[in-house]
Amino acid sequence: MWKQVLPAILLTGAILSPGRAGSQEPAPHQVPALARIVILATGGTIAGVQPKEGEAAYRSGQVSVDSLVRAVPDLEKLASITGEQIASIGSQNMSDFVWIKLARRASELLLSPDVDGLVITHGTDTLEETAFFLSLVLKTDKPVVVVGSMRPSTELSADGPLNLYNAVAVAADPRAAGRGVLVVANDTLHAARLVQKAHTTAVQAFVSANRGPAGELLKGAKTTYFLPPSATASSRTFPIAGLSALPRVDIIYAHENADGTFVKAAVAAGAKGLVLAGVGDGNGTNELIEALAEAARSGVAVVRSTRVGSGIVRRNIEVDDDSLGFVAAMDLNPQKARVLLRLALTKTKDVKEIQRIFEEN
């Protein structure tokens, strides 16, 4: 169905359904009003197109939000949908500019009484970072769902249509309220804080380390929530009013025989914070740890995370965080730790306060 409908959409364009008008009760013969969902599109594989059918190669962000919506059968039965194009990029090119533009527009829409929830389409490469960022800056109880796909829209057995269908179903579900930003992928529901991409190409590419997925779906009709709202919603938000960019934070990857070269280079480039993607429990060679300690003494915030993929990096286990002035990332992976550190640095440079932020979010 997807491959049959999409070419016609690309040629003729699309018209989205209008938002739900008013709040009056429908007449007995009318269909009850649907939830009003806005889809904000940023591009990604879900909007990708293959130059030649059957080839593995494709270009991200080629299909408009209108076309995506019209090419999903029966989507209009789930909600009254409008769409906006925020960007048309592969998510490897996600930037502060797009993040802030997206967050500001999302905030505006969520404040409107005419919007019941949001769906954000996104490439999968940095989807977990954007979802976590949004969970930290959007102050709302309305459902916000981020969705992507592993196969482009013209691929045989593309996963985008069902993912988008499920995302709209979750955003229209009153039970999704108050759960923070959620991610839908391959019939599975993830919390923004927990989700991570764990496979390069498989449809089942996303996992939720440590605590498991937030729920599962069955073709938009039946959603089972495994985790309570308190386990998926962020405990605090960071206002971004007035921000045009975020502090520079670089990730330093630990490995055998690593020295402090990249630490010094990052500091010289203007990094205000560093995240160690450490071996094991957030560790590194003596030379690497000493370079990070020197950076911390100079006022650069240093957070220890791990490259392992799961587990918790706690304070003062193998590394003396107290004496070195480091922050322990807890269960955040390096890319998520970087997002939180960038936002924390907009509020404070105090290491103890940053540690508290990591322990509470």
Which CATH number is 249-360 given?
3.40.50.40
Cβ burial, residue 260 (10 Å; 0-12/13-18/19+): buried
pLDDT digits (tens, 9 = 90+) for 37-78: 999 999 988 876 766 665 666 666 677 888 888 878 899 999
Which residue in this structure is represented by tokens 């992507």? 148
pLDDT for 30 equals 47
Q: Do 2-20+29-232 and 249-360 fold alike per CATH?
A: yes
| pLDDT above 50 (res 17) | no
pLDDT for the residue numbered 243: 87
pTM: predicted TM-score of the whole model, two decimal places = 0.88
Catalytic residue among 12, 42, 45, 285: 45
User: What does pLDDT average to over the chain?
Assistant: 89
Q: What is the pLDDT of residues 216-245, one digit of tens each?
A: 998 877 899 999 998 999 988 999 888 889
45 is annotated as an active-site residue: yes
Domain ranges in the chain are: 2-20+29-232, 249-360
Nearest to 93 by CA among 63, 121, 126: 126
Tens-digit pLDDT profile for residues 188-213: 999 999 999 999 999 999 999 999 99
Give the β-pairing of 188-191 and 215-218. antiparallel
Candidate CATH numbers 3.20.20.80, 3.60.21.10, 3.40.50.1170, 3.90.1150.10; the one for domain 2-20+29-232: 3.40.50.1170
- Structure tokens belonging to residue 81: 């949908």
**pLDDT tens string 211-221:** 999 999 988 77
**Distance, CA of 206 to CA of 184 (rounded, Å):** 9
Helix (H, G, I), strand (E, B) or coil at 258: coil
Amino acid letter for position 92: Q
